[in-house]
Amino acid sequence: MKYSYYPGCTLKTKAKELDVYARKCAEKLGVELTEVDDWQCCGGVYTTSRDEIVTKLSSVRALNNAKERGQSLVTVCSACHNVIKRVNYDMANDAFVNAGANNYLQLATPYNGETKVIHFLELLRDEIGFENVKKAVVNPVKRRISAYYGCLLLRPGNVMAMDDPENPRIMEDFISAIGGTPVVSPYRNECCGAYLAVTDPAVPARHCGYITDSFKAKGAETVITACPLCMYNLKRNSGDLPVVYFSEILAEALGVK
């Protein structure tokens, strides 16, 4: 199985574990990930306004590169996934955004949202299959684990289409597949405070307090996330509750850590 791969800026710097372990796990599971040529930062957040064209171009370039290779595009970072998938949706469904982006890029063939964008968790669930992930586990992670989805993986539900945005199970099924016990908290899909970490850290501190208190009250021993910014905000406010990337805990289970 061959896929194009978009790591993103933070996965080359502060979130190397998220990237390195995803690659090791993919290799172990028989998946070949090839980085997009000359990829650029997605911008971190999707710009919702229709007249914001320039801020969507880096995503279109990555999507078109995967299209030219005839491959689906795999992401690992929640933010990159959210931005690229939403821009892809616009390119397929919003004639104004499509016209503006194609007019600027002047590609050999216009890009119209042809590439399929899949998050690494979807790769595990839909392409490899959690039952096959389970078969590849050599060190079952026998811990009580809470999945923290945050906002970017699930919303808006009609575009992200990963799971039920209000009652998701993909990360809980992932936890079960690697031998853990999923611990569900109602705060698992509430926002961590996001980029307010840069301007007003008291806001994410308050939100992450609610979130991690809830995980602890439910008896979680570990929290997993797919987002470097959620990781940063949670870690600074989780006390002694460990927070790890889902790819790192998968690497532990597959014996490649």
Partner 1 sequence: MDLSEQAENIKRISGVDTKKCLRCGKCTASCPNYEDMEYHPHQFVYFIENGYLDRLLKSDAAFRCMTCFACVERCPRDVKPAKLIEAVRLTLVRQKDSNRLKPYDIIENLNADLPQQAIVSAMRKYTK
Binding site for partner 1 (CB under 8 A): 8-10, 13-15, 41, 43-45, 47-52, 55, 77, 79, 151, 154-157, 165-166, 190-191, 193-199, 201, 203, 207, 228-229, 231-232, 235-236
Instruction: Output the CA angle 225-193-239, nearest 5 degrees.
Output: 60
Question: Do 226 and 77 contact (CB within 8 A), yes or no?
Answer: yes
Cα–Cα distance measured from residue 64 to residue 33, given in angstroms and rounded to the nearest whole number? 16
**Which of these, 160, 133, 150, 122, lies nearest to 223 by C-alpha position?**
150
Q: Whole-angstrom Cα distance, residue 92 to residue 113?
A: 4
Nearer to partner 1, 41 or 138 (CB): 41
Q: How many CB atoms lie within 10 A of CB 244?
A: 19
d(CA 127, CA 165): 21
| Smallest distance, partner 1 to C-beta of residue 227, A | 8
Shortest reach from residue 188's CB to partner 1, in Å: 13
CB 180 within 8 A of CB 141: yes
Amino acid at 225: T
Nearer to partner 1, 1 or 41 (CB): 41
Smaller CB distance to partner 1: residue 243 or 254? 243
- Rank residues 55 and 181 by Cβ distance to partner 1 and give the closer one: 55
In the complex, the smallest distance separating the C-beta of residue 138 from partner 1, rounded to whole angstroms, is 31
Please state the closest distance from residue 169 (CB atom) to partner 1, in A.
17
Q: Minimum distance between the CB of residue 253 and partner 1, rounded to whole angstroms?
A: 25
Q: Which residue, 49 or 106, has its beta carbon nearer to partner 1? A: 49
H/E element holding 67? Answer: helix 57-69
